[in-house]
Amino acid sequence: MNAAWENLVAAASESNAPAAVPITKQPPPPTPAAVQSIVAPASPAPSSQAPAPAAPQQQQPATSVSFTPEGLPRFGFYLPVWNQIPSVLGVLKATRKFYPESPIYVLQDGGNIDFGPVCAMPKYRCIFQRGKGENSRWNPHSWFHRITQAALILGTEFVIYLEPDVKVARRHLVDPKHDAGGIFDNFNPEVGDETRNYLERLGRDRNPCFKATWHWFGLAGGSYFRTEAIMDAFAPGSQTPRLT
């Protein structure tokens, strides 16, 4: 067992990881009546004895869990990884903490660290697959293919694309309103004119007035994609059912 593997096992086995919550057979969201009973419990029956003072209780933070009409989690996470042990484990821990009901698909994009046993641990609960290393910055076809496969594997309404350098700080506060949303990465080099013109020509097949207003990558780690849009853009011949 080499040093890298020993470090991975030690880091993944830390006791401060979030507790496991099964993602199968999730309970349905609470009904308004159930929420009302929690917020304002029924008054006790009258009694001749003076009630004892209530002990102070610590308020628990509310957790909002989103499901599709079919009862599936709305958000699934796709995380391609290489050899970055601390950052990968950090992303997995945080995602499990804030999205205990959501599936996570980890794709081993080359490298010599096997994250498969980590994904099998109950506290991480990832779908794992190993693939050969791809330089998608040079040829994006593999990226298109892999995120399409991720959408099919996850089966959720939205795919959240993660990378090891992403920090998941909390659960989302506003539901996505578009088919895709990315990051303000104007610190990156701009997309070339030839590439931008090509994308705009494709976009005008659907919208004659389409124009690329963001000249950077945008859809990098930390982005979201509607599964239906992924299948429409990258696998237009598929018969994927609508999830909404």
Band of residue 176 on the pLDDT scale cut at 50, 70, 90: very high
Band of residue 70 on the pLDDT scale cut at 50, 70, 90: low
Let me know whether 201 and 89 are in one domain: no
Mean pLDDT over residues 80-102, rounded? Answer: 95
SS3 11: helix
- For position 218, what pLDDT does the model report? 85
Let me know whether 115 and 132 are in one domain: yes
223-228-231 Cα angle (round to 5) = 90
Band of residue 140 on the pLDDT scale cut at 50, 70, 90: confident
Flag whether the pTM goes above 0.85. Answer: no
67: Cβ contacts below 8 Å, ≥ 6 apart: 26, 28, 29, 73, 74, 101
Distance CA 125, CA 12 (A): 12
Band of residue 134 on the pLDDT scale cut at 50, 70, 90: confident
Decide if 225 is inside a domain.
yes
Mean pLDDT over residues 167-194, rounded? Answer: 91
Q: Is the pLDDT of residue 161 over 80?
A: yes
Let me know whether 189 and 243 are in one domain: no
Decide if 23 is inside a domain.
no
Mean pLDDT over residues 89-107, rounded? Answer: 96
- For position 108, what pLDDT does the model report? 93
Whether the CB-CB separation of 228 and 243 falls below 8 Å is answered with yes
List the domain range (segments joined by +) for residue 205: 184-217
- For position 2, what pLDDT does the model report? 57
- For position 34, what pLDDT does the model report? 31
Let me know whether 165 and 227 are in one domain: yes
Whether the CB-CB separation of 94 and 164 falls below 8 Å is answered with no
Higher model confidence: residue 29 or residue 172? 172
Decide if 163 is inside a domain.
yes
150 CB burial (10 A radius; 0-12, 13-18, 19+):
buried
Q: Is the pLDDT of residue 114 over 90?
A: yes
